[in-house]
Amino acid sequence: MTDKVVLGTIGGAFGVHGEVRLKSFCAIPEDIADYTPLETEKGRVFNQIVLTGRTKNGLTARLDGVTTKEEADALRNTELFAPRDRLPPTDDDEFYYADLIGLPVFDTGGEQLGTVRAVQNHGAGDLLEIHAPGRSTTILLPFTQEAVPTVDLTAGRIVADPPEGLF
């Protein structure tokens, strides 16, 4: 699904009448409803999302065709995709997470450190999760201008200046 970008994830049922918990990956979480129709990886299409409220870690919503708690629970952990061409262009220093995943990461001397496996944000800023060859665990690199001075999507590479001892 390279021509599509994940905009959110369904967290399961919220209540007993078919509402779902929804985690939005949009800069303004409520904007997820503006990108309908959204599609699942299995091809199910949601033509309408009606936001009904907020939860501690996201939104609550009604999805067209989902009317029971059981249907909502069956969608737990389902990602919602939008076509890339419907997304706004990014500024020079902004990137869609989907564009970073899979890029090789090099240090400032040109040595490959690993590959971006995921981008995470636990509330204190973005982190690049990097899989380094020969390591059993991934490394979390702060995605800041200081630690990651260059992201070159055209060349398909990231240049990092990681804190001492991280790698």
Give the residue numbers spanning the domain of 140.
Answer: 97-160
In a domain, 45, yes or no: yes
Phi, psi for residue 93 in degrees, rounded to 5: -105, 20
DSSP 110-161: S-EEEEEEEEEESSS-EEEEEE-TT-SS-EEEE-STTT--EEETTTTEEEE-
* Same domain membership, residue 78 and residue 27: yes
How many other CB atoms are found less than 10 A from the CB of residue 34? 12
Q: For residue 65, is it within any domain?
A: yes
Q: Is the pLDDT of residue 51 over 60?
A: yes
Q: How far is CA 53 from CA 22, 56, 118, in A?
A: 10, 10, 28
How far apart are alpha carbons 23 and 37 in whole angstroms?
A: 16
The CATH number for 65's domain is 2.40.30.60
Q: Is the pLDDT of residue 15 over 50?
A: yes
Closest CA to 5 of 139, 116, 104, 95: 95
pLDDT digit string, tens, across residues 77-113: 999 999 988 988 888 888 888 889 999 999 999 999 9
Domains of the chain: total: 2
Domain annotation covers residue 69? yes
In a domain, residue 133? The reply is: yes
Domain endpoint, select from 86, 115, 145: 86
- Domain stops at, among 38, 55, 86: 86
Whether residue 1 has pLDDT greater than 60: no
Q: How far apart are the C-alpha atoms of 4 and 2, rounded to whole Å?
A: 5
- Boundary residue ending a domain (34, 54, 86): 86
Q: Which pLDDT score is estimated for 122?
A: 77
Query: Does residue 43 form part of some domain?
Result: yes
Could you tell me the CATH number of the domain that includes residue 109? 2.30.30.240
Is there a single domain that holds both residue 66 and residue 125?
Answer: no
Query: Could you tell me if 147 and 107 lie in one domain?
Result: yes
Here the tokens at position 137 are 């665990």
Average pLDDT score over residue span 122-133:
89
